[in-house]
Chain A
Amino acid sequence: MWGVLAGWLGPAEWEAVRLSARVALWATAVSLPFGIVTAYVLARWEFPGKQVLNGLVHLPLIMPPVVTGYLLLLALGRRGPVGEVLEQWFGIVVAFRWTGAAVAAGVMAFPLMVRAIRLAIEAVDPKLEQAAGTLGASPVWVFLTVTLPLILPGIVAGSILAFAKAIGEFGATITFVSNIPGQTQTMPLAIYSLLQVPGGEDGAARLAIVSVVIAMAALLLSEFVARRVARVVSGS
């Protein structure tokens, strides 16, 4: 099936689809633990500066994506403060690499993921967590055995939403890691490039179809899985 799809798309377009999938999967997977922790902190803790954290998390959602990409470039570029540390200490370079595309996609998708998970955590009755505590579960065990199972539907929904957002990310990606075929040229960037050259419309249309199918599939899957999980979790 993949062969048929690859043949229909042509090598450059197929490369873009595969790259997009890899970027979006990594972006979602790596940001998920941070997303859960951030959502938990925002939902359950009271501390000075909470609104600042909340604002920071939501910033990529409301700022122009190009600005987000530019800020990422300033911070994570080879001469940026964070980028320099990453390269010298860990030998990691993200600027103009697919990993950078994943960082940009992850940052842009983060607020959506946190929102979905935070809503799920706020729906968990803290009294259940108290009950688990009185039964001998330490805070970590309370989270793992009570909170986490109960928020699974939210985690699934948040992850799929983040994946869909990551796969369609354009502005921050092109600003941060540029548009290098095979390296940082994800599907939206490939569509954009194809539309810049004469005769590229067919390829653009094919990639557009793939994008729509992936987006629809992600949405349906998230509805299905979230409902399944919710049924198991609520026990009805």
Chain B
Amino acid sequence: MTLQLALRHRFAGFALDVDVTAPPGVTVLFGPSGSGKTTLINAVAGLLRPDAGRIAVADWVLLDTKARYCLPRHKRRIGYVFQEGRLFPHLTVRQNLLYGRWFAPRNVTPEPLDRVVEMLGIGALLERRPAALSGGEKSRVAIGRALLSAPRLILADEPLAALDEARKAEILPYFERLRDEISVPILYVSHASVEVARLATTVIALQGGRVAAIGPPERVLGDASAVGAREVASLLRARVVAHHDDGLSELATAAGALHLPRVAGAPGTVIRVRIAASDVILSRAAPVGLSALNILQGTIAEIQPGRGPAARVVLAVGAERLIARVTLRAVAALSLQPGQTCYAILKSVAVAPEDVGR
């Protein structure tokens, strides 16, 4: 189900002007605060009426200002996971979860309660009230509540932003399961490139109310104009080979073996690993006597000078791209040229557990 987002909206001192179509899967709206992410998602939910535009999920039109059509929010069949949860304080967890089902059309079958409860691990909480839940538990209940309303589209507005790192690591896998197990498109707002790397099928990078880039995450995350030079990263597809006794996991990529701190997933699982461009060191010769465990071989595809003293060197490794952020001085000293074979060095510990996802 494709998602069409065409909107124009003007606030005091801010204008949103977007016209994109996203393919099925998880579409992440990515950008700094103030870039218009929340405005856009609220327009989709019907919490805000834009000046002009058209919003449609496949052929289900939610808004078309040209045809003077605006579906009221309670008829949009959208499961909105809010940043602060917004659980109803006077209802139990079970009543919160079933709230949306009450209003769902008779002819649709929502997810069974048991399955959602099991998937989110909230079986023990059903009779509690939101006041008695921890932050992570509230988030999971909020996800379940949105899911159980039989939505045609799930919206999530920075659902992890209010959580600490440990809770984020707890909730992210649930969104991955949502993406992999339920065939409802998801529009996910985030300003964290880690979440983009792990969840996105498509990324829409927003800047100042405009679309800076749209595409698959490995392309948008590597685009400095979309994410900012410091945030540039590569996404490598890797297969888990083995978990070793010293706490490292061995992964196979198109460019060679990667050894990372223990990742989740049985041997054979394919995962994606986010590698920040500034964590990568380049070498012309095969390096020896290094403490770094990961040495990947590739061919220089492109050298992109930045605005400052740094440049991005893009290596082609198999069908994928690995980006290194190095100084222009280093590019000159090594006389790096497109077409050369080059070695990328990556410290294992530079990749944090949250950089790795399915």
Which residues of the other chain, A, contact B130 by a CB distance below 8 angstroms?
A: 235
Q: Is A135's CB under 8 angstroms from B99's CB?
A: yes
Which residues of the other chain, B, contact A132 by a CB distance below 8 angstroms?
A: 88, 99
Q: Is B131's CB under 8 angstroms from A135's CB?
A: no
Q: Is A133's CB under 8 angstroms from B74's CB?
A: yes
Q: Is B77's CB under 8 angstroms from A234's CB?
A: no
**Docked complex Cα distance between A132 and B79 (Å):** 10
Chain B contacts with A in 147-161, Cβ cutoff 8 A: 149, 155
Q: Is B89's CB under 8 angstroms from A150's CB?
A: yes
- How many residue pairs at the A-B interface have CB separations less than 8 Å? 81
Could you say which of A134, A142, A146, A150 contacts B76, with CB atoms under 8 Å apart? Answer: A134
Residues 72-94 of B, flagged 1 when their CB comes within 8 A of A and 0 if not, give 11111111101010101111100
Q: Is B149's CB under 8 angstroms from A135's CB?
A: yes
Interface: A136 (CB within 8 A):
yes
Interface: A193 (CB within 8 A):
no
In the complex where A135-B145, A135-B149, A136-B77 touch, is A234 in contact with B84 (Cβ < 8 A)? no
Q: Is B90's CB under 8 angstroms from A235's CB?
A: yes
Q: Is A134's CB under 8 angstroms from B45's CB?
A: yes
Which residues of the other chain, B, contact A137 by a CB distance below 8 angstroms?
A: 74, 99, 102-103
With CB as the reference atom, state the residue of chain A lying closest to B155. A134
Interface: B266 (CB within 8 A):
no
**Docked complex Cα distance between A133 and B100 (Å):** 9
**Docked complex Cα distance between A139 and B78 (Å):** 16
Which residues of the other chain, B, contact A133 by a CB distance below 8 angstroms?
A: 46-47, 73-74
Q: Is A128's CB under 8 angstroms from B88's CB?
A: yes
With CB as the reference atom, state the residue of chain A lying closest to B84. A127
**Docked complex Cα distance between A1 and B47 (Å):** 57
Which residues of the other chain, A, contact B88 by a CB distance below 8 angstroms?
A: 128, 131-132, 146
Which residues of the other chain, A, contact B74 by a CB distance below 8 angstroms?
A: 133-139, 141-142
Which residues of the other chain, A, contact B78 by a CB distance below 8 angstroms?
A: 134
Q: Is B149's CB under 8 angstroms from A235's CB?
A: no
Which residues of the other chain, A, contact B82 by a CB distance below 8 angstroms?
A: 127, 131
Q: Is B47's CB under 8 angstroms from A134's CB?
A: yes
Interface: B129 (CB within 8 A):
yes
Chain B contacts with A in 111-134, Cβ cutoff 8 A: 129-132
**Docked complex Cα distance between A137 and B72 (Å):** 10
With CB as the reference atom, state the residue of chain B lying closest to A229. B90
Which residues of the other chain, A, contact B129 by a CB distance below 8 angstroms?
A: 234-236
Q: How many residues of A contact B (CB 8 A)?
A: 24
Task: Give the interface of B toward A (CB within 8 A).
Answer: 45-47, 72-80, 82, 84, 86, 88-92, 99-100, 102-104, 129-132, 145-146, 149, 155
Could you say which of A125, A135, A136, A149 contacts B90, with CB atoms under 8 Å apart? Answer: A149
**Docked complex Cα distance between A136 and B145 (Å):** 12
Q: Is B103's CB under 8 angstroms from A136's CB?
A: yes
Residues 192-236 of A, flagged 1 when their CB comes within 8 A of B and 0 if not, give 000000000000000000000000000000000000000011111
B88 to chain A, nearest CB (A): 6
Which residues of the other chain, A, contact B90 by a CB distance below 8 angstroms?
A: 149-150, 232-235
Could you say which of B89, B92, B100 contacts A135, with CB atoms under 8 Å apart? Answer: B100
Which residues of the other chain, A, contact B102 by a CB distance below 8 angstroms?
A: 136-137
Would you list the 6 A-B pairs with minimal beta carbon distance, nearest first?
A235-B129, A136-B103, A135-B100, A131-B86, A134-B80, A233-B90
Q: Can you name 24 A-B residue pairings with CB atoms under 8 Å?
A: A127-B82, A128-B86, A128-B88, A131-B86, A132-B88, A133-B74, A134-B46, A135-B79, A135-B100, A135-B103, A136-B74, A136-B77, A136-B103, A137-B103, A138-B72, A138-B103, A139-B74, A141-B103, A232-B90, A233-B89, A233-B90, A235-B131, A236-B131, A236-B132
A53 to chain B, nearest CB (A): 26
In the complex where A235-B129, A236-B131 touch, is A136 in contact with B104 (Cβ < 8 A)? yes
Which residues of the other chain, B, contact A51 by a CB distance below 8 angstroms?
A: none
**Docked complex Cα distance between A136 and B110 (Å):** 13
Residues 108-125 of A, flagged 1 when their CB comes within 8 A of B and 0 if not, give 000000000000000001
17 extra interface residue pairs, beta carbon distance < 8 Å, beyond A130-B86, A137-B103, A234-B89:
A130-B47, A130-B73, A132-B99, A133-B47, A134-B76, A134-B155, A135-B100, A136-B74, A136-B75, A138-B74, A139-B74, A141-B103, A150-B89, A150-B90, A232-B90, A235-B91, A235-B92
**Docked complex Cα distance between A235 and B91 (Å):** 8
**Docked complex Cα distance between A234 and B73 (Å):** 26
Chain A contacts with B in 144-176, Cβ cutoff 8 A: 145-146, 149-150
**Docked complex Cα distance between A134 and B48 (Å):** 12
A128 to chain B, nearest CB (A): 6
Which residues of the other chain, B, contact A232 by a CB distance below 8 angstroms?
A: 90
A236 to chain B, nearest CB (A): 5
**Docked complex Cα distance between A56 and B141 (Å):** 45
With CB as the reference atom, state the residue of chain A lying closest to B77. A136
Interface centre among A130, A150, A233 (most CB of B within 10 A): A130
Residues 71-92 of A, flagged 1 when their CB comes within 8 A of B and 0 if not, give 0000000000000000000000
